[in-house]
Amino acid sequence: MTLEISFLGPLQVLAADAPVRLVGHRRIGVLARLAMNAGQPVHAERILTDIWGDSSAATAAKQLHIVISKLRRALGPHTAEEIIQTVPGGYRLALVPDHIDAHLFLRLAKRARTGQAQGAGAAADALFRRALQLWRGEPLAELTAPWARIEAARLEEEHLNVLEDHADLRLAAGDHHAMAAELAVHVRAHPLRERAAAQLMLALHRAGRPSEALAVYQDTRRVMISELGIEPGIELCRLHQAVLAKDPALDLTTPAQQVTVREPYIPAELPADTRAFTARAAETHRLRTALGLDGSPARGPLVTVIDGPGGIGKSALTVHVAHAMAARFTDGVIYLNLHGSTPGLDPLTPAQALRHLLRSLGLDGAAVSADPGEAAARYRSLTATSDLLVILDNARDVRQIRPLIPAGSGCRVLITSRDPLVILDNARHLHLGALHAADAAALLSRLAGPDRVNAEPQAAERIVHLCGGVPLALQIVGARLAARPDWALSDLEVRLADATRRLDVLEYADLAIRASVAVSHHQLQEEPAGRDAAHLLPLLGLLDLPSHTP
């Protein structure tokens, strides 16, 4: 279950969008203090100083321990792991920073500014808007301690800077009419911010209201002299003179000044999740952790390879986890089946794959270079500042994969393959094996129906054994049973028990164990070192043994 903490306004703690009630000034203070350093240890002495101050010095440490215990009881039912962890000398909030609105706001603002500097106006506009939507009021409003007021002032200053950065972008896009009204409210609330006054003057001038622009300068000057005893800065004074002189440099007259701000294209290409997904709790946790944005420094994208034999459930696991994490990626999710082991289809070449990836990023097909090197360079440029999840499903080998890795440190890549791809640079690896008997039985129950499985537990156990814990085989069995409600499980058990017919039984519609094995056998024959193995593989079937090892 996802826990979200919001304090850019009144404190909110949500678990799967349902509120979690917290009471107690110190509980709120301790949680907020840990949340400001989410994922990082906070020394107990720092917490005591910030939350308890100088009062109750003799018992404060014990009180902190009690507060931590109560927070764990309140938040624990909503998380898979202990939410507040004890670390040497202090405590750590085990929550991804993006699940805390202040951290997410700062990250989105940073990415928006990067996009703005690179001329990606549409993406920057979307990121600025998403960041500003997180604000609901005064940050850390419930807390009056000095540390909280300092953090609140820092966040509020950043909020104002983001508002004004966004205003610059919209003014460059020619949105001066709307900005004049919005900036007027902003300037009234913050009359000493010269940058905001200059933006309002520019918006009014471009909207054909020069007298009002000049009035803004006079009002700002009067307030500054009255409250600070100083004149406006040189930039505001120069703008005042330019408005008086009707300087054409203030107008949007050249194409270079125009910025198109429109809704950016955000890919959402995930296939449907499977309702029958079962087990794989440890593997799911590892992948969710790999996809988490924990705030630690990264020099490139984080790549995870999920390998295992055909039919073992690599794609199902990857898609299932991606659905749970997709909302975290502000630039979307790209899914690409590379057909490395698809019966009847050739694997995609890197050039074909890059063409799909670039089109998924919004590039017109005619603009995609036919040269693989140029296409790969363009792909890296487009993903350099992206917050993107890329799923490369069913990969053949490392040669196919290497050009498809995005460049941005905010990107995450999940690769599925029958090949472990052990020489892929900077990749984490997760090997997927057969399901344990209990998990395989649970999957069969979900597919065929619990009543039928409970009615014939011995037959169900035998079917699970004959399927070898392979999810694809269980899926085929479940489909056969669902299609024939008149069949008993023992009927299907008898068919599966005949080794000479088993592969025929394990075929239904477009699902087939035989085809999955045939692809790997064919690929083995294509490799010089694998030809002998491909020749020996059918002969192993003559041996009456449950398994074989090299």
55-95 residue pLDDT tens: 556 788 899 999 999 999 999 887 767 889 999 999 999 88
In a domain, 468, yes or no: yes
Measured between alpha carbons, how far is 481 from 491 in angstroms, rounded to an integer?
10
Spatial separation of the C-alpha atoms in residues 357 and 407, rounded to whole Å: 13
Q: Is residue 548 part of a domain?
A: no
Indicate whether 213 and 127 sit together in one domain.
yes
The residue among 46, 77, 101 that closes a domain is: 101
pLDDT of res. 56: 55
Q: Is the pLDDT of residue 17 over 80?
A: no
Predicted pLDDT at 188: 95
Taking the C-alpha atoms of residue 464 and residue 316, their distance in angstroms, rounded to an integer, is 19
Q: DSSP characters for 88-129?
A: TTEEEE-S-GGGBHHHHHHHHHHHHHHHHHTT-HHHHHHHHH
Lowest mean pLDDT among 8-17, 76-85, 227-236, 485-494: 76-85
CA distances from 382 to 106, 124, 359, 446, 460 (A): 22, 13, 11, 42, 51
CA-to-CA distance for 90 and 99, rounded, in angstroms?
22
Q: Is residue 207 located within the same domain as residue 331? A: no
How far apart are the C-alpha atoms of 460 and 437, rounded to whole Å? 11
If asked whether residues 70 and 109 sit together in one domain, one would say no
Q: Are residues 87 and 112 in the same domain?
A: no
Sort strands 41-43 and 90-93 into parallel, antiparallel or unpaired. antiparallel
CATH number, domain with residue 372:
3.40.50.300
Question: How many Cα atoms occupy the beta-carbon half-sphere of 24 within 13 Å?
Answer: 14
Is the distance from CB of 388 to CB of 332 less than 8 angstroms?
Answer: yes
- Confidence grade of residue 45 (pLDDT, cut at 50, 70, 90): very high
Shared domain for 318 and 384, answered yes or no, is: yes
**Which residue range is the domain that position 312 belongs to?**
281-431
Asked whether residue 211 falls in the same domain as residue 90, the answer is no
Q: Is the pLDDT of residue 550 over 70?
A: no
Mean pLDDT of 115-124: 82
Co-location of 154 and 169 in the same domain? yes
- Establish if 40 belongs to a structural domain: yes
Structure confidence at residue 258 (pLDDT): 47
Are residues 417 and 444 located together in one domain of the fold? no
Query: Same domain for 420 and 473?
Result: no
| Token pair for 62 | 């014990």
Maximum distance among all alpha carbons in the chain? Answer: 98
Q: Is pLDDT at 211 greater than 50 in this prediction?
A: yes
Per-residue pLDDT tens over the stretch 243-276:
999 998 898 765 444 445 555 678 999 999 988 8
Across the strands, what pairs with 512?
507
User: How buried is residue 100: exposed, middle or buried, by Cβ count under 10 Å (0-12/13-18/19+)?
Assistant: buried
Within-domain flag for 425: yes
31 and 78 co-located in one domain: yes
Contact in structure between 492 and 463 (CB atoms under 8 Å): yes
Q: Which of 410, 431, 452 is the last residue of a domain?
A: 431
Q: Crossing angle of helices 121-133/146-172, nearest 10°?
A: 150
Percent above pLDDT 70 for the chain: 90
For the chain, how many structural domains are there in total?
4
Same domain for 415 and 287? yes
- Its pTM surpasses 0.85: no
- Does residue 52 register a pLDDT over 50? yes
